[in-house]
Amino acid sequence: MSTSARPSAIPPEVLAREARLTAALAAMAHAASREAAPLRTFREAMAAGDATSAEGLVEEVVREGLAEEALAILREARRTGKGDDALESIRKRLAPLAEKARERRVASWQLDSRRASVRIAYAKLPPAADFDGGDLQRILLAAFRLEGLRPALDLGHHPRPILQMGLPLPAGAGGRGEWAEAVLQRSPEAGAEALLAGLNARLPEGLHLHRWIEQPHYATPVAELAETSEWTWPCPEDLLDRAQAATARFLAAATFAWDRAGKVGGQKQEKHVDLRPMVESMTWEGSLLRFRTPMAAFGATNPLKLLGAVLEADPASLKGLVREALTLREDSRLAQGERFEPKLRNLYEDAVLLSGGSNITLVDDEDDEPLRLG
């Protein structure tokens, strides 16, 4: 008796984007990797499922201060099914050594002056617009690794590299003035121009880093500085009349009800939202729609779904949406650094006590398409 394979519950577009991401990550290794040699060899052994070679590298990995990173590679190999029970002995050797390394980092975190906080401006345009914030985080981490840059790890029990996408865009939306923020274990010796050139040579088409700014550790995150976003959307000619009529109705309305899936009182149900305060302005330049959203009201709302609600159209059909600019207010902390030292000390102590580090993920409360901030 023949049986048919069970259909995947994952939407085809998600599978397609994952395939594109896998291909992009593989293509980034076209040039020789600058990752620390012991860790690179350990990673290759894990990818091949070669437990014997990997176990022989444990001593060198630990000696080079890479135990935590190696344990993370091992966990990923086990999670994706590339390993087998033979890897358990490696885990038992690595886990206590990695925990000791984490404890040493926790104890010296506040006094470690070698870390470097950086803010990176980048553009995300087609064909890279099909990647979401989580995809971009994986791509940037791979680029950092291949270029020999080592992100600092947070203070969680399962430490993660500290790299945040400032205000991530969903798959299908592009941006010209986006931001990512990272903390590196050491300030790079190369200048900003050389760093950007090396990273850009790795990145897939449509992604381009154009500014590298080192900043104090107490600088306010981009997400907290954002004031407004400027968007453009090129309307197809056959939809222009209907789209212009829809925007006219929206602009004429004092309120504009939008029902979407969400959580009310912790329970999943229809969430009633007034869309009107989320759009400050909306104008047409021929077939190009321009609109501005205040970030305080906009929050983590998916911009494609917002535009789809205004136009009474399927968000998936809206191609070419781009955030042209993100307006940031001035960071008052940068001029008052001495005032934040006690606050930083308290934050450090809280992170140690909670062992939470920066493992915080904020998500859009819509059921079907989360927006991950980090």
In degrees, rounded to 5, the angle at the alpha carbon of residue 306 between the alpha carbons of residues 303 and 312 is: 135
- Confidence bin at 271 (pLDDT 50/70/90): confident
Among 55-64, 107-116, 181-190, which is the least confidently predicted range? 107-116
Q: Say yes or no to pLDDT of 372 above 50.
A: no
What domains are there in the chain, each with its CATH number?
29-110 (no CATH), 112-219+332-354 (3.30.70.580), 225-327 (3.30.70)
- Confidence bin at 164 (pLDDT 50/70/90): very high
Instruction: Give mean pLDDT, residues 199-215.
Output: 97
In one-letter notation, the amino acid at residue 268 is K
pLDDT at position 354 is 46
Strand partners, 211: 121
Q: Element (H or E) spanning 310, and its range?
A: helix 303-311
pLDDT at position 166 is 86
Tell me the backbone φ, ψ of residue 263, rounded to 5 degrees. Answer: -120, 130
pLDDT at position 335 is 82
Q: Say yes or no to pLDDT of 50 above 70.
A: yes
Q: What is the DSSP string of 238-272?
A: GGHHHHHHHHHHHHH-S--EEEEEEEETTEEEEEE
Residue 314 contacts residue 172 (beta carbons within 8 Å)? no
Instruction: Give mean pLDDT, residues 177-192.
Output: 95
- Confidence bin at 361 (pLDDT 50/70/90): very low
What are the E-state strand segments in the chain? 116-124, 163-165, 174-184, 207-215, 226-234, 257-264, 267-274, 281-285, 288-294, 322-328
At 123, list the tokens.
Answer: 């553009």
SS (H, E, C) 202-240: HCCCCEEEEEEEEECCCCCCHHHHEEEEEEEEECCHHHH
**Distance from the first to the final alpha carbon of the chain:** 48
Of 362 and 181, more confident: 181
Strand partners, 183: 117
Instruction: Give mean pLDDT, residues 239-251.
Output: 97
Instruction: Give mean pLDDT, residues 205-233.
Output: 95
Burial class (CB in 10 A: 0-12, 13-18, 19+), 91: middle
Tell me the backbone φ, ψ of residue 222, rounded to 5 degrees. Answer: -55, -40
d(CA 306, CA 273): 11
Residue 289 contacts residue 239 (beta carbons within 8 Å)? no
Instruction: Give mean pLDDT, residues 200-229.
Output: 95
Q: How many CB atoms lie within 10 A of CB 83?
A: 22
pLDDT at position 202 is 97
Report the candidate in 154, 144, 330, 114 with the shortest Cα–Cα distance to residue 226. 330
b/e sequence 260-294, b meaning 16+ C-beta within 10 Å: bebeeeeeeeeeebebbebbeebeeeeeebebbbb
Residue range 115-134, pLDDT digits in tens? 999 999 999 999 999 999 99
Q: Say yes or no to pLDDT of 357 above 70.
A: no
d(CA 359, CA 206): 28
Predicted structure pTM score: 0.83
pLDDT at position 285 is 98
In one-letter notation, the amino acid at residue 260 is R
Residue 210 contacts residue 341 (beta carbons within 8 Å)? no
- Confidence bin at 9 (pLDDT 50/70/90): confident
CA pseudo-torsion sign 207, 212, 213, 216: positive
d(CA 367, CA 362): 14
- Confidence bin at 340 (pLDDT 50/70/90): low
Please name the residues in contact with 222: beta carbons below 8 A apart, sequence gap of 6 or more.
Answer: 119, 166, 167, 179, 181, 326, 328
Residue 117 contacts residue 215 (beta carbons within 8 Å)? yes
